[in-house]
């Protein structure tokens, strides 16, 4: 290695080989030991006339990749490729083709490994012929192999497509992979055009044929300008395409099955002496109207949910209906995707969030699953809008109405289509689709750890707070222009000491402090009971912030928030006075006794959502709760849910910190961003709401370590059930819920949306409320 002499010898050897090999002629017969290399100047062999070349052409989309191809050498670029050895094989720079000394044609990668070989030995020479045929010939001149015998999608004058041979369209103009159409010269004598499946090539159905039956016929491109079907004895049976004005002397001609399924007979002037911009022109084609070619299986000519029409030049133009867009605009055969979430078939959900778009002269002939008669346009429209399975409805001129399901296929539009399509599309609300990130690392031991904390937390702050209608009239005042804190009463410590009988009756205890029941004899309103919260660890320097925050909390007025009635800031003592909630916390309501009625739970969900929406979006200063959990939702005498303890996170000065020790919130309910270096937004409450939503549906705590591993963590179990299509397992034994599976499913999906790892993917509470109230469509959940 690295020996100078060795290197020199090696160099000599290489020089010897390359000089020997590089001496090949670019046109005429190609002698043994000739070589062409991708990326070099002479990387092709020309036909004697120079019309055709066999060699390397750069891939249009990537000039560092090449195809080995036969192409029109004189046309401005090498875009018209007639033949390639392997449809889907791109080659890198320095790939080469060698006609070896033992008469084999070998395509090699830059390292010299063989990539392709037509399996012919002892050829005497090779030749790129003026017909466009590349041949390996014996010394007697007979062809051992020819490119004409393995066509791709094109045949040329003098070429024939023998019995049992096929032409397969490219997938797209720049994608040589097998496409969606083929022409087969069947041995029964019929020339048949097939729709085929990508990628297997399975034959869906035929869309055109010559309907001929003379065995062993072949397709022959007669140089006088016709593509004929000829019998084994050479007799003309049928003509597939023909032109009669453009001679092969002055025009290149080719017959190609294009990616749109049409076999076109193209001509191209050999010289553009007249100065006209020379291009390929289709002079004849089969079938005449490809848009009318239908296939029961597969998408038809255009992709799924797309429809077929023609542009001004008469070329096939596939289009997406309103409300849909291309899956890939450069690959229209991939079809159109709805720009909205496909309706979920949940009771009462069907038409909400959707509208109908009318398109005249459009039909999707298949995919119907129901038919009605007689129908008027508005009836046919409404039937589809009200049916969650319905993607579109089609009305004909006599009153037949068909409901169609996804994916739509074989769409055809044109004045001859005497039908009207009504397409169901989403209102313009677009939602992120669900992608629940499950941390595989959070295995059961970790979950149990959380479970322990949750159980501990449950003992805190269970019953709390509540009522006394201080100045009910003032409560009704509008928020705007409301004077800061004007409806809050400032208490003295002794007043509250007296009201709570010396802080004797403790009704709750939590992270923020201890809650005592009190009784205010001075209040005229019906309910004199109050809950007095003694804040713990209050730091004197927070004096100013305390007053500010209390005023902000005091401004909140909402049916689903626990009212702050007053406060006391005397010395180091900080007390908050709330209305008293006689039915205690949601936690004890859900977990401590018999299962509460389903209807009541549904109302509670709506109440909490409204309260949170108010905090996040409707009050003058946004309030992020940071500790949403069943212990912090209280129930009044009518079991109306009221959120408690909001605004305290800022009051306690903990909302800006993300360290776990000082983090506000309760394990099991806190959003993942608390553990990351990302900003804390209102979406942390949305996450907690998601957890709580599942708890309300199932009447169980998020973490129950007594349960089996698969069920121990409710969020995971719920997503498992959802994925398995067994949401019913979550409410097993709960007959009321079982009878309202539509709502159960809705809640579970919404909860899963809230539990997205990425806060941006969680809905806002405003959006959540709309989805709960079924005012907008709920996205189709995608769980990896
Ligand atoms: C190619 O070789 C064959 C057979 O040796 C010969 O008949 C033919 O004329 C040659 N063609 C050219 C263009 O040299
Ligand atoms: C290749 O082509 C370039 C530009 O046409 C020319 O400068 C260069 O000398 C050529 N190389 C060889 C080996 O012919
Ligand atoms: C072109 O192909 C090469 C080799 O496969 C690849 O490394 C490169 O990224 C491609 N370039 C483009 C623009 O796609
Ligand atoms: C080269 O081929 C592309 C298609 O691949 C075509 O759009 C372009 O017009 C061609 N250029 C010329 C000069 O013909
Ligand atoms: C190319 O096509 C062959 C056969 O059609 C197939 O086996 C192979 O996987 C394809 N390769 C690529 C990269 O598509
Ligand atoms: C191709 O060959 C040339 C000259 O032999 C060499 O300089 C170049 O590095 C090679 N490139 C690749 C990608 O093999
Ligand atoms: C071929 O077709 C002709 C007419 O279309 C019919 O008379 C004849 O029986 C067919 N022959 C066979 C073998 O099917
Ligand atoms: C068709 O061709 C095959 C193979 O060349 C042959 O075996 C068969 O007899 C032919 N059939 C007819 C009807 O000519
Ligand atoms: C091509 O068609 C002409 C008639 O237009 C006919 O005379 C000639 O024999 C055909 N050629 C072949 C090879 O079949
Ligand atoms: C031949 O084809 C061209 C299209 O390239 C067309 O315009 C012309 O009319 C045709 N006929 C003759 C005689 O050139
Ligand atoms: C939806 O958006 C489109 C364009 O973005 C607009 O033309 C249409 O009026 C909107 N429809 C509704 C119901 O908002």
- Residue 147: predicted pLDDT: 97
The CA distance from 154 to 102, in Å, is 31
- How many angstroms does the Cα of residue 412 sit away from the middle of ligand 9? 39
Question: Which residue is closest in CA terms to ligand 3's atom 11?
Answer: 62
Residues framing ligand 8 (Cβ under 6 A): 215-216, 232
Question: Which residue is closest in CA terms to ligand 3's atom 9?
Answer: 62
Residues framing ligand 3 (Cβ under 6 A): 62, 64-65
Question: Which residue is closest in CA terms to ligand 4's atom 7?
Answer: 79
Query: pLDDT tens, 629-651?
Result: 999 999 998 899 999 888 776 65
Sheet with 236-242: list strands edge to edge. Answer: 160-161, 218-222, 226-230, 236-242
**DSSP state, residue 351:** S
251 beta partners = 269
- Residue 612: predicted pLDDT: 94
Low-confidence residues in the chain, pLDDT < 70: 1-27, 77-79, 272-277, 346-352, 428-486, 511, 522-526, 537-542, 649-667, 677, 780-784
Question: Which residue is closest in CA terms to ligand 6's atom 5?
Answer: 94
- Residue 780: predicted pLDDT: 65
- How many angstroms does the Cα of residue 148 sit away from the middle of ligand 9? 19
Contact 419, 396 (CB under 8 A): yes
Query: Is residue 414 exposed (0-12), middle (13-18) or buried (19+ Cβ within 10 Å)?
Result: middle
- How many angstroms does the Cα of residue 40 sit away from the middle of ligand 2? 8
- Ligand 11 atom nearest residue 427's Cα: 13
Ligand approaching nearest to the C-alpha of 116: 5
Question: Which residue is closest in CA terms to ligand 8's atom 4?
Answer: 216
The CA distance from 657 to 200, in Å, is 57
Within its chain, how far is the Cα of 418 from the centroid?
A: 34
User: What is the three-class DSSP state of 769?
Assistant: helix
Minimal CA–CA distance to 304: which of 289, 326, 322? 326
- Ligand 1 atom nearest residue 28's Cα: 13
Please identify every residue annotated as catalytic.
627
Residues framing ligand 4 (Cβ under 6 A): 60, 76-77, 79
The answer, yes or no, to whether any atom of ligand 11 lies below 6 A from the CB of 427, is yes
Ligand approaching nearest to the C-alpha of 186: 8
- Residue 276: predicted pLDDT: 58
User: What is the three-class DSSP state of 534?
Assistant: strand
The answer, yes or no, to whether any atom of ligand 1 lies below 6 A from the CB of 29, is yes
Minimal CA–CA distance to 216: which of 257, 256, 161, 255? 161
Ligand 3 pocket: which of 62, 91, 92 to mutate (most atoms within 8 A of CB): 62
**DSSP state, residue 762:** S
- Ligand 6 atom nearest residue 94's Cα: 1
- Residue 604: predicted pLDDT: 95
What are the CA-CA distances from residue 645 to residues 609, 747, 769 (Å)? 16, 25, 21
Q: How many residues does the chain have?
A: 784
Q: What phi and psi values does residue 555 have, to the nearest 5 degrees? A: -80, -15
Question: Which residue is closest in CA terms to ligand 10's atom 4?
Answer: 281
Residues framing ligand 10 (Cβ under 6 A): 245-246, 267, 269, 281
- Residue 661: predicted pLDDT: 35
* Residue 351 CB partners (closer than 8 Å, separation 6+): 385, 386
Ligand 10 pocket: which of 242, 251, 276 to mutate (most atoms within 8 A of CB): 251
Contact 690, 751 (CB under 8 A): yes
Interstrand relation of 564-570 and 489-490 (parallel, antiparallel or unpaired): parallel
- Residue 663: predicted pLDDT: 52
- How many angstroms does the Cα of residue 54 sit away from the middle of ligand 1? 17
Ligand approaching nearest to the C-alpha of 426: 11
Residues framing ligand 9 (Cβ under 6 A): 222, 224
- How many angstroms does the Cα of residue 111 sit away from the middle of ligand 5? 21
- Residue 241: predicted pLDDT: 94
Query: pLDDT tens, 289-348?
Result: 899 888 888 999 999 999 998 887 778 899 999 989 999 988 889 999 998 878 777 655
The answer, yes or no, to whether any atom of ligand 1 lies below 6 A from the CB of 138, is no
Minimal CA–CA distance to 84: which of 113, 107, 61? 107
Ligand approaching nearest to the C-alpha of 91: 3
688: part of which helix (H) or strand (E)?
helix 683-698
Ligand approaching nearest to the C-alpha of 88: 5
Ligand approaching nearest to the C-alpha of 41: 2
- How many angstroms does the Cα of residue 353 sit away from the middle of ligand 11? 13
- How many angstroms does the Cα of residue 149 sit away from the middle of ligand 10? 29
- How many angstroms does the Cα of residue 161 sit away from the middle of ligand 8? 15
- Residue 675: predicted pLDDT: 74
Sheet with 411-413: list strands edge to edge. Answer: 316-319, 307-310, 411-413, 362-363
- How many angstroms does the Cα of residue 110 sit away from the middle of ligand 8? 44
- Ligand 1 atom nearest residue 125's Cα: 2
- Ligand 3 atom nearest residue 90's Cα: 5
- How many angstroms does the Cα of residue 245 sit away from the middle of ligand 10? 7
Ligand 6 pocket: which of 11, 41, 94, 113 to mutate (most atoms within 8 A of CB): 94
């Amino acid at each position: 290695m690295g020996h100078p002499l060795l290197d020199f010898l090696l160099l000599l050897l290489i020089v010897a080989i390359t000089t020997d090999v590089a001496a090949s002629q670019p046109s005429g017969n190609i002698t043994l030991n000739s070589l062409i290399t991708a990326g070099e100047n002479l990387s092709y062999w020309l036909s004697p006339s120079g019309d055709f070349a066999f060699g390397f052409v750069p891939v249009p989309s990537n000039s560092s990749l090449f195809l080995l191809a036969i192409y029109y050498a004189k046309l401005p670029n090498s875009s018209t490729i007639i033949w390639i050895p392997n449809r889907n094989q791109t080659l890198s720079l320095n790939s080469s083709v060698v006609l070896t000394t033992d008469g084999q044609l070998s395509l090699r990668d830059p390292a010299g490994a063989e990539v392709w070989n037509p399996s012919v030995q002892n050829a005497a020479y090779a030749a790129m012929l003026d017909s466009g045929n590349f041949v390996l010939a014996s010394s007697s001149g007979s062809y051992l192999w020819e490119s004409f015998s393995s066509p791709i999608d094109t045949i040329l004058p003098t070429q024939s497509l023998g019995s049992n041979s096929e032409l397969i369209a490219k997938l797209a103009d720049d994608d040589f992979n097998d496409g969606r159409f083929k022409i087969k010269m069947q041995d029964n004598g019929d020339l048949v055009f097939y729709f085929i499946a990508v990628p297997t090539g399975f034959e869906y159905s035929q869309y055109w044929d010559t309907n001929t039956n003379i065995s062993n016929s072949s397709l022959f491109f007669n140089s006088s300008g016709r593509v004929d079907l000829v019998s084994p004895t050479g007799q003309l049976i049928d003509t597939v395409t023909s032109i009669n004005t453009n001679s092969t002397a002055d025009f290149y001609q080719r017959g190609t099955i294009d990616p749109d399924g049409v076999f076109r007979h193209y001509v191209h002037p050999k010289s553009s002496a007249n100065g006209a911009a020379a291009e390929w022109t289709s002079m004849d084609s089969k079938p005449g109207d490809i848009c009318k070619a239908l296939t029961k299986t597969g998408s038809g000519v255009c992709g799924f949910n797309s429809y077929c029409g023609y542009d001004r030049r008469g070329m096939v133009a596939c289009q997406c209906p309103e409300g849909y867009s291309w899956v890939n605009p450069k690959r229209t055969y991939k079809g159109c995707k709805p720009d909205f979430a496909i309706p979920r078939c949940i009771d009462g959900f069907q038409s909400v969030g959707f509208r109908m778009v009318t398109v005249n002269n459009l039909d999707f002939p298949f995919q119907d699953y129901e038919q009605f008669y007689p129908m008027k346009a508005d009836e046919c429209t409404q039937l589809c809008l009200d049916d969650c399975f319905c993607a579109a409805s089609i009305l004909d001129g006599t009153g037949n109405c068909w409901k169609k399901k996804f994916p739509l296929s074989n769409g055809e539009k044109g004045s001859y289509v005497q039908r009207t399509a009504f397409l169901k599309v989403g209102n313009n609300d677009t939602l992120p689709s669900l992608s629940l990130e499950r941390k595989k690392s959070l295995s059961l031991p970790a979950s149990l750890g959380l479970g322990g904390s949750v159980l501990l937390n449950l003992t805190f702050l269970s019953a709390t707070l509540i009522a006394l209608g201080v100045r009910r009239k003032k409560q009704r005042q509008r928020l705007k222009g409301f004077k800061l804190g004007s409806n809050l009463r400032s208490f003295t410590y002794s007043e509250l000491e007296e009201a709570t009988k010396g802080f004797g009756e403790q009704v709750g205890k939590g992270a923020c402090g201890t809650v005592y029941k009190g009784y205010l004899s001075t209040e005229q309103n019906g309910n004199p009971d109050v809950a007095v919260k003694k804040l713990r660890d209050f730091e004197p320097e927070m004096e100013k912030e305390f007053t500010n925050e209390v005023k902000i909390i005091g401004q909140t007025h909402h049916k689903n928030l626990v009212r702050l009635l007053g406060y006391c800031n005397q010395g180091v003592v900080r007390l908050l006075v709330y209305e008293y909630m006689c039915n205690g916390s949601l936690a004890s309501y859900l977990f401590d006794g018999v299962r509460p009625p389903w209807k009541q739970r549904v109302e509670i969900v709506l109440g909490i959502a409204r309260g949170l929406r108010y905090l996040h979006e409707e009050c003058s200063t946004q309030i992020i709760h940071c500790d949403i959990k069943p212990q912090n939702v209280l129930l009044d005498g009518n079991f109306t849910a009221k959120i408690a303890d909001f605004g305290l996170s800022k009051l306690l000065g903990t909302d800006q910190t993300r360290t776990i020790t000082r983090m506000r919130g309760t394990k099991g309910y806190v959003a993942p961003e608390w553990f990351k270096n990302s900003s804390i937004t209102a979406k942390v409450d949305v996450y907690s709401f998601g957890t709580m939503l599942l708890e309300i549906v199932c009447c169980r705590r998020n973490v129950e370590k007594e349960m089996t591993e698969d069920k121990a963590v409710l969020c995971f179990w719920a997503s498992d059930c959802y994925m398995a299509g067994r949401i019913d397992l979550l409410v097993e034994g709960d007959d009321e819920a079982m009878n309202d599976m539509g709502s159960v499913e809705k809640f579970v999906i919404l909860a899963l949306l809230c539990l997205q790892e990425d806060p941006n993917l969680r809905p806002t509470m405003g959006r959540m409320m709309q989805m709960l109230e079924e005012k907008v469509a709920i996205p189709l959940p995608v769980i990896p």
